[in-house]
Amino acid sequence: MATEKPRGLYYADYLQLERLLSSQRLRSGADGPPAHDEMLFIIVHQAYELWFKQILWELDAVLATFRKASVPEEELGQAILRLGRIVEIQRVLIQQVDVLETMTPLDFLDFRDLLIPASGFQSVQFRLIENELGMRRADRLQILDAPYTSRLSAEDAARVEASEKEPSLFDLVEDWLERTPFLHFGDFDFWREYRRAVETMLAADRASIRGNPTLTEDEKTRQLAGVESTAQRFAELFEPEPGEPATAGGRHFSRRALQAALLIHLYRDEPILHLPFRLLAILADIERNFTTWRQRHAQMAMRMIGTRIGTGGTSGSEYLGRAAERHRVFADLSALASFFIPRSALPKLPAEVRSRMGFRFGAP
Ligand code: HEM
């Protein structure tokens, strides 16, 4: 019988499998009957924490790129690949809920009370991800008038609080957007041209409804009211009340950053704007996936514990449902489509701007 390990690096040593695979300690079975499904419950949570670690690994690298005074073009592509990886990991995280849901509520009840007062609410890595993305304390739901860190150990709370003080991805992307050239370029003023194009588009929409012989007067009134509500949304974009956000939910970009995000989306076919467009699209994906996970997790909590309070003491699935609506960071990016106009209606870029935006190949 072989007792010696083969020469060289050994698989189990490299992956520290002894530690990893002896880290599942069931609480059931000690003073009462063992609960078969507790193993699944622990492993699924541990798998989540491992993926959270990988997300933070990617996020930290992306933050380092965006912390630079000006983001080097070649690093932008790398940052986009890393954020794309986060999107794929999120898909796994959402799917993993299905695995945990093979446990029935009754099987969960076999060991649930042994977990009190521990809860996913105390996941430090989850809080770090939220904060690094840009969630602010003031935007969080209040739980029993206590800060969200109140259920953490002093050491964990200090780590989470420290992450609030660092510039988040939201802050850094907002700065980067504000620095975008091309909003003003010589005589070209993107915002003025875009506003004009929107007004032309809305006027054409109204005229086409009024002149449509197939519509009854009632139908015309209804459709015109629809155009007016679109016009109202645009009006808010152009002339916001002080402090009033242009889009609903979560944090909001400064006006200048929002303008730049729109410019990037509308002119994304220009080579120089293509990578910035991919970045904004991926951030919107991350936002949507985060919300999807939150909704899925809230549904799972409802299925497992109904309307009971959570082991961490919140109102349970009711809290989780509200958090899914409220705890949002890049909501502006996912709501941007309301302000798109068709390519055919886009103001033409002056030749000089286009030439600056294009890739050129020529002798050095
Ligand atoms: C049987 C399965 C699960 C149930 C019934 C459940 C239930 C809950 C409840 C009720 C809360 C609210 C806090 C509280 O009062 O405890 C919560 C929070 C949380 N849970 Fe779960 N959970 C389950 C599985 C998971 C899994 C697998 C993860 C993965 C890490 C997870 C991560 C979290 C996180 C991060 C929070 C904080 C969410 C926030 O504050 O927005 N949960 N969970």
**What does the pLDDT read at residue 339?**
92
Please tell me the distance between residue 139's alpha carbon and the centre of ligand 1 in angstroms.
19
**What does the pLDDT read at residue 239?**
74
**What does the pLDDT read at residue 362?**
54
Please tell me the distance between residue 146's alpha carbon and the centre of ligand 1 in angstroms.
18
pLDDT for residue 322 is more than 80: yes
Question: Tell me: the pLDDT tens digits for 37-56?
Answer: 999 999 999 999 999 999 99
- pLDDT tier at 127, thresholds 50, 70, 90: very high
Nearest-atom number in ligand 1 for the CA of 52 is: 30
Please tell me the distance between residue 316's alpha carbon and the centre of ligand 1 in angstroms.
8
Angle at 189 between CA 185 and CA 192, to 5 degrees: 175
Which of 93, 304, 320 most suits a substitution to test ligand 1, by most atoms within 8 Å of the C-beta?
320
Task: Provide the 10 A C-beta neighbour count for residue 129.
Answer: 20
319 lines ligand 1 (CB under 6 A): yes
pLDDT for residue 334 is more than 80: yes
Higher pLDDT, 344 or 79: 79
Nearest-CA residue for ligand 1 atom 23 is: 301
CA atoms within 13 A on the CB side of 220: 12
Alpha-carbon span 61 to 303, nearest angstrom: 37
Where residue 103 falls (left for φ over 0; alpha for ψ -120 to 50; beta otherwise) is: beta
**What does the pLDDT read at residue 74?**
85
Between helix 271-305 and helix 255-266 the angle, nearest 10°, is 110
**What does the pLDDT read at residue 260?**
94
Q: What is the pTM of this model?
A: 0.92
